[in-house]
Structure 1
């Protein structure tokens, strides 16, 4: 029975998608719920799985093709997988060393390999999912690999040459690699440029003494992890401090919609998460009612699913404020860019010990620079500065978070 494999139904905010990777080839046996293809949208990668046991009969949309919601991607033949796998297994012994059918290689790579008599199975693959790329074959040839040829008559082994250097990129070689920008990366670029062009963006800075939070974490981290099953990090403190500051300064929690200013009566804080595909911002909903443990647990889940490419569109829609932490990569100070239509974003940075003047004495303290970028059309400088000072005060005296003062 033939079944049409269709693209997922995209939400209203997603116009179309791109076929990212086919994990199965035509004629290859597939089991029910096995991954067939990844569809990349502006926000997430959506997985399309097999509807039943059977075989992928015909692929209608190749990698890189743009597809619409519910558009047919391939034709699937449902049936007994073992019946398909048996003939393939029987033919396997007949395959010669030069048969490259089972080797995943790009068309350009296969063409160059055939022209030079190179067995692509002998080429070191660097492409996604073990794919042999054009550059792999070129580098294989430049590395001194000989084209495949008829075996030469047996001869006495020649003496080994004196420690010759390992073949590498020839001196003076200037290698370039051109790859298409992913939809997520293109969307990030577009939104960041729009934010800079359309908003009156300004950044204010301050610094916070992290010693009180670090001492509190050191004292209770073991009990916290034992009680809640999650480690106590710094991000939960910043989320709670930002949430309290947002309640006191509603304009920072607002957004601009045309000529209207939209004030939100709730705090949905986005936390920037770095993944192999790019930066994504999943949303913590109603952070005012979340505990530190709930925040840490949810952020941990976001990070794990982000690395696995399993964040859903619903995880990243909305948000009234964003926190980004460049400090985990060693950034000492930066200017975060707004995440439209939000009107402000908080940037955290590296904790670094610095000499500070405390009551007339020089004391070494673990300090962090904080930055708040804001849309000056919506937020006045006074509000932005007071908002950041509020976060600073709450972090330097964490008890105030509990006492709501």
Structure 2
């Protein structure tokens, strides 16, 4: 008999939600078969069987679980032949509907446990975080059922509530007499973002440099490539490609800070790009941006935007970025200062193109400019290095035919 334990999927979350079992209780599964779907604060992840065996589930769909927790067992032929082992696993599986789940992420840091939420008469599974939000706002269950989903997660309820991010409980320090409607609590995903931001500002002595870039020609080329490649190519795709091409000349900008006065070189320019379609901030990673064709990079970013709409990122989509590009494409933004994410030495920011009148010979012309900013860990990168990096990036963007011919 083999315990099936929840793997650690990321460094930000202390608990996950068991969204769905992908194999039936009592089903024979093979080593490597996907058997459960777990939801983290940012992604959903299939977890696989560690060995062959007969699955005995110990936790209900919709319950929370923590890394290392045993949520199922896999019985081998020898176990099935032992009446005691089969009886033990069967009894535990029979307790599935009342299995206790950790609630540390929902105002219970002491680790006490509450019963996992069962499905209702309709067969719909409502996760504990979702149920708390439903009850806090008095949402009729018929509205929840109308979503037509087998498992209702917190993000689904937030979708019903529109832009609100309410809390299931009044804050501990709330004055007497305050009610829930007066408080807005961060979503689970935003809480993880807050933790990363706090850590960055606490640990990384960051500096910032910005540079204006004339993007008139590169935008024209992007429109042409969109028609020819039949996939959306815009300024973000061009910046990812151009930045990826700077790995060899500026290895420190893609390095992983190490202990002491060292940083580990990156083998490839893996560029994280912010995506926010109203369901939280995600930073999926474009792999090997310096060596791959622009068409592939564009296809990756289109795919990321579609995935963000459904909230179905996998942890592997979000891990391993060597540098991050944060997009600030709302009209009117002049420049933006990104945070440097722990494990990286710098982060780029990009604003939307804006028209500016410039001198052109004896007259004037309207050109389009964008601001590219660079926040950097001053322990590893100096201001002169930052200016040279931005200068090379500007040269690539202002001579788009050059960087496209050099990098494919």
Return the TM-score normalized by structure 1: 0.64
Contact 2:6 2:66 in 1 (8 A): no
Shift of 1:312: 1.8
Q: Superposition RMSD on alpha carbons, in Å?
A: 4.6
Partner of 1:371: 373
Task: Give the 3 Å change call, closer, same or farther, for CA 340–334 of structure 1 in structure 2.
Answer: same
Distance in 1 between residues matched to 2:317 and 2:180, nearest whole Å: 42
Could you say which residue in structure 1 is the equivalent of 2:205?
200
Map of 1:147 onto structure 2: none
- Residues 136-285 of structure 1 aligned to structure 2 (within 5 Å): 175-177=181-183, 179=185, 181-182=187-188, 184-225=189-230, 230-259=231-260, 260-274=262-276, 276-285=278-287
Corresponding residue of 1:17:
15
Alignment of 1:275-314 (within 5 A): 276-314=278-316
Aligned equivalents of 2:137, 2:191: Cα separation in 1: 31
Change (3 A) 1:231 1:177: same
Q: 2:343 matched to which residue of 1?
A: 341
CA distance in 1, matches of 2:68, 2:317: 20
State the shift of 1:179 in Å: 4.9
CA distance 1:207–1:23, shift in 2 (3 Å): same
Partner of 2:106: none
Counterparts of 1:37-56 in structure 2 under 5 Å?
Answer: 39-46=38-45
1:31-79 alpha-carbon deviations (Å, 9 max, x no partner): x9xx998633254223689xxxxxxx998458563433462279489xx
> Which residue pairs with 2:53 in the alignment?
none
Farther off after superposition, 365-374 or 268-277: 268-277
CA gap 1:6/1:120 in 2 versus in 1, 3 angstroms: farther
* Conservation of the 8 A alpha-carbon contact between 1:7 and 1:39: no
Larger radius of gyration: 1
Change (3 A) 1:360 1:240: farther
Quote the Cα distance in structure 2 between the aligned partners of 1:110 and 1:42: 21
Aligned residues: 323
Q: Which moved more, 1:40-49 or 1:263-272?
A: 40-49
Alignment of 1:102-121 (within 5 A): 102=122, 106=131
- Mapped to 2, the partners of 1:330 and 1:59 lie a distance apart of 53
Q: In structure 1, what is the Cα distance between the partners aligned to 2:186 and 2:219?
A: 44
Rounded Cα–Cα distance in structure 2 between residues aligned with 1:296 and 1:112: 41
Q: Distance in 2 between matches of 1:174 and 1:72?
A: 34
- CA, structure 1 residues 275+128, in 2 after alignment: closer, same or farther (shift >3 Å)? farther
Q: Distance in 2 between matches of 1:207 and 1:127?
A: 49
Q: Deviations over 1:204-236 (max 9, x none)?
A: 0111111101222334432222xxxx2322222
- Answer whether contact 2:255 2:344 (CA < 8 A) is retained: yes
* Structure 1 CA distance for aligned equivalents of residues 398 and 241 of structure 2: 13
* 1:403 to 1:180, Cα distance in 2 relative to 1, 3 A: closer
Tell me which residue corresponds to 1:139. none
Corresponding residue of 2:71: 72
Equivalent-residue separation in structure 2 for 1:325 and 1:289 (angstroms): 22
Change (3 A) 1:200 1:125: same
* TM-score w.r.t. length of structure 2: 0.64
- The answer to whether the 8 A contact 1:19-1:37 is kept is no
Q: CA 1:177–1:238 in structure 2 vs 1: closer, same or farther (change >3 Å)?
A: same
Structure 1 residues without counterparts, runs of 5 or longer:
25-31, 50-56, 78-99, 114-118, 136-172
2-side partners of 1:107 and 1:381: how far apart? 49
